[in-house]
Amino acid sequence: MLKQIAIRLGCQKTITKSLVMRSAEHRLAGHRLTERRGPWLWAAGLAAYAFLYLPLTIVVAYSFNDSRLNAEWVGFTWHWYRVLFDDEDMLIAAGNSLLIAAVASLAATVLGTMAGIAMHRYKLKVLTFMVLIPVAMPEILLGVSLLLFFIQVLNLTLGLLSIVLAHITFSIGFVAMIVQARLAAMDESLFEAARDLGASPWQTFRHVTFPLILPAVIAGGLMAFTLSIDDFVITFFTAGVGVQTLPLRIYSMIKIAVTPEVNAVSTLLMLLTLTTIILASRFAPDVLKGKT
């Protein structure tokens, strides 16, 4: 910054003064802004952070605790992870979850990317509305309406297929919004240049649009994957009796009793979603803000 100012000082006389003044003002403003963090603000903010992190820390810590009760620290052990990997039902549930998430996120990525492009390029109001509804409404409403639809209209036996369809439905919106945000941030003249150089619409898409939105598409896909792996409410209504997923299994376990095995599976699940999300935010930095 200083170097730039120095260069400009030497080159352009007319704008120099205002630039230096402005930069000084900016720095001063920034400085005064950070000074506005009084002790009370610090205390309240840090308390909020503690409130957010304390519960998860306890879950992780007790997953290594050598005690049946989640009450006090006894000693370090891998026991609960061994129990976890001997639990046949849990492994089946984990397999189901991964399968559902893989299929659903793949389909949602394709459909969501198309929806994102369509929303950006054709400004279809119906599509935007349909994409936002599952994101904005309480999950339970989508869950019960899908349950009614699958049973009453499609006469479908609830199982893997119904879960996958439900997961695609609520993931499309997230992928579409990430892709649309990326498209909106891009320079429209790039596509015009491609067209002027004689590229057909398909060539423009293949060689210009797609490479540019690819990071957003990947981020959207990873987002859809974590949403699917984590989903409990909609899966709860569309799973039927035969199929278990990891969140459903956790739910039925904590409904009965608190056991450290849940800590272990929670820790692993947290690790998985955390990695995926951090990976996603590498591709599109705003992906986390997009979650709301």
Is position 55 an interface residue for another protein (rule: CB under 8 A)? yes
Q: Which of 277, 278, 221 is nearest to 105 (CA)?
A: 221
Crossing angle of helices 260-283 and 79-86, in 10° steps, is: 90
Q: CB of 114: closest distance to another protein in angstroms?
A: 5
Partner residues linked to 76 by β-bridges: 65
Residue placing its CB nearer to another protein in the complex, 9 or 53: 53
Is position 82 an interface residue for another protein (rule: CB under 8 A)? no
Site pattern 163..182 for another protein (x: CB under 8 A):
--xx-xx--x---x------
Site pattern 124..163 for another protein (x: CB under 8 A):
x-xx--xx-xx-xxxxxxx-xxxxxx-xxx----------
d(CA 136, CA 268) in angstroms, rounded, equals: 29
- Rg of the chain taking only CA atoms, in angstroms: 25
Is position 207 an interface residue for another protein (rule: CB under 8 A)? no
Residue placing its CB nearer to another protein in the complex, 115 or 216: 115
Candidate residues 201, 210, 211, 282; the one interacting with another protein per rule CB under 8 A: 201
Residue placing its CB nearer to another protein in the complex, 68 or 82: 68
Is position 29 an interface residue for another protein (rule: CB under 8 A)? yes
Site pattern 93..122 for another protein (x: CB under 8 A):
------------------xx-xx-xx--xx
- CA angle (213 as vertex; 207, 218 as ends), nearest 5: 120
Alpha-carbon distances of 182 from 18, 75, 86, 210, 214, rounded to whole Å? 34, 49, 44, 11, 10
d(CA 159, CA 180) in angstroms, rounded, equals: 32
Candidate residues 99, 186, 269, 279; the one interacting with another protein per rule CB under 8 A: 269
Q: CB of 86: closest distance to another protein in angstroms?
A: 21
Torsion of CA 138, 139, 142, 147, to 10 degrees: -130
Candidate residues 81, 230, 234, 243; the one interacting with another protein per rule CB under 8 A: 230
Q: How many residues bind another protein (CB under 8 A)?
A: 93
Q: CB of 144: closest distance to another protein in angstroms?
A: 5
Q: Under a CB-based contact definition with an 8 Å cutoff, are residues 259 and 68 in contact? A: yes
d(CA 135, CA 82) in angstroms, rounded, equals: 38
